[in-house]
Amino acid sequence: MTPEELLGYCLQKPGAWQDEPWEGDIVTKVGPKIFAFLGGDGVGVKCGRTRDEADEWLARYPEDAAVMAYIGRSGWNTLRIGRTIPDEEIHQAVDESYDLVAASLPKRLRPESR
Give 24 or 95, the one with higher predicted confidence: 95
Q: Given a cut of 80, is residue 13 above it in pLDDT?
A: yes
User: What percent of the chain is modeled with pLDDT above 90?
Assistant: 79
- Average pLDDT of every residue of the chain: 93
Q: Is the pLDDT of residue 89 over 60?
A: yes
- Separation of alpha carbons 59 and 55, rounded Å: 6
Q: What is the pTM of this model?
A: 0.92
pLDDT range class, residue 64, cuts 50, 70, 90: very high
In the predicted model, what is the mean pLDDT of residues 84-97?
Answer: 97
- Which tens digits make up the pLDDT trace of 39-62? 888 999 999 999 999 999 999 999
Domains of the chain with bracketed CATH:
3-104 (3.90.1150.30)
Residue 75 Cα to chain centre, angstroms: 11
- Predicted local confidence at residue 113, as pLDDT: 59
The count of other CB atoms within 10 Å of the CB of residue 108 is 6
Q: Do the Cβ atoms of 44 and 78 come closer than 8 Å?
A: yes
- Give the whole-number percent of the chain exceeding pLDDT 70: 98
Contacts of 101 (CB under 8 A, 6+ apart): 30, 33, 34, 35, 46
The pLDDT score that the predictor gives to residue 114 is 44
